[in-house]
Amino acid sequence: MSKLGSKIGKRLGSRLSLPLIFSFAVFLIFLVTVIVTGLLFYLADVFGLINEQIIMDGTLVPLLILISCIIIGTAISAFSSRKMVRSIRTFIDATDRLASGDFSMRLQLTSPPEFRILSENFNRMAEELGGIEILRTDFVNNFSHEFKTPIVSIKGFAEMLKHDDLPKEERDEYLDIVIEESARLAALASNVLELSKIETQSILTDKRRFNAGEQIRQCVLLLAAKFEKKQLTLNADIHDYELEGNKELLNQVWLNLLDNAIKFTPEGGEISIHMKKQTAGIIVIFRDNGAGISGEALPKVFDKFYQQDTSHSTAGNGLGLTIVSTIVNLHGGTITCDSILSQGTAFTVTLPAAT
């Protein structure tokens, strides 16, 4: 209760501080105006500037006092409001620079407390907008690269296929490349559409209970040919735990994580799948002994189109893990990535168990 009381007190204090400051400022202006006006009339009386005839006149003295208060009060108000106006102009200039695209702009207003809060919120907004701008630029660059590369490749090999004197072996090789690049382009378009559809979902649809362990076993069978091709060893500790969610979407999670593990595990390597149930829910860990991910790249693995291989020579378009993360979050779960260079990578998915 004491913590709650202190929080409420701080909120009330922050809300009341600016009105109190303004009220105190107005009071000071009135007080100083009255004192200065009284002092001027006292000096005028001492030096004989005010005679008895002026004092006896019932309208002249009040009029002089009123005019003096207006002039003095206006001067004091104009002088005292300069700091407040300066802070507002600083804020206006900052928002103008921010609107012009300068996301490095930061405010350092300290008083009154509302202006300090305004500065903190403005700085946080500028930082978020800067991050979004970087993501947007990276997205456009990566998408352009991923989209343009197969098109250029298809165009180049299609032009070469027009030559009548091309040997059959080369023609077949070029046709295989065109087919492969076409499939890559189709996969990119499908992934972008799938990600767009998932990101627009705020409510999970088609929820049902199902056996998550059995679903993961089926995913392993679907990718069995890839396991055999690279002669990979699979260590599976899979249990018949039940989940409640969209079965088709979660199927994409397991397939993506398994396919990634196969892709980045060297021939003869090892992949493990471990399931366990805790109070947090059902935990599924996919681990490989591949090349691993660098510390700089680790925070970006779930970003759109991000690939650690900057040459983009590795198969894929950098959308798989983004789709996985979005689906897991949509189910109220979490996904984390732990990796050590030259030792391997582990993806840990935590999902609420079926109630």
Question: Which pLDDT band holds residue 272 (cuts at 50, 70, 90)?
Answer: very high
Beta-carbon count within 10 A of 38 CB = 12
The domain segmentation of the chain, as residue ranges, is: 2-129, 138-199, 208-351
pLDDT digits (tens, 9 = 90+) for 26-55: 767 677 777 777 777 677 666 666 666 655
Exposed e or buried b for every residue in 124-156, given b needs 16+ CB within 10 A?
eebeeebeeeeeeeeeeebbeebeebbeebbee
pLDDT at 58: 55
Amino acid identity of residue 244, one-letter, is E
pLDDT at 313: 45
CATH topology of domain 208-351: Heat Shock Protein 90 (3.30.565)
Pick the more confident residue, 62 or 311: 62
pLDDT at 35: 77
**Start-end of H helices in the chain:** 2-46, 52-56, 60-80, 82-99, 113-161, 168-199, 212-222, 224-229, 247-263, 320-330
Is the per-residue pLDDT at 260 higher than 80?
yes
Give the predicted TM-score (pTM) of the model.
0.53
Average confidence (pLDDT) over 177-205: 72
Quick one: what percent of the chain has pLDDT higher than 70? 68
Beta-carbon count within 10 A of 168 CB = 7
Beta-carbon count within 10 A of 79 CB = 10
User: Cα torsion for 213, 253, 276, 205, to the nearest 10°?
Assistant: -80
Q: How far apart are alpha carbons 33 and 77 in whole angstroms?
A: 10
pLDDT at 146: 63
State the helix-helix crossing angle for 320-330 and 247-263, rounded to 10 degrees: 140
Is the per-residue pLDDT at 6 higher than 50?
no
β-pairing verdict for 233-237 and 270-278: parallel
Quick one: what percent of the chain has pLDDT higher than 90? 17
Token readout for 233 is 């060893």
Are the beta carbons of 222 and 251 closer than 8 angstroms?
no
138-199: CATH architecture: Orthogonal Bundle (1.10)
Is the per-residue pLDDT at 315 higher than 60?
no
Token readout for 164 is 């009548």
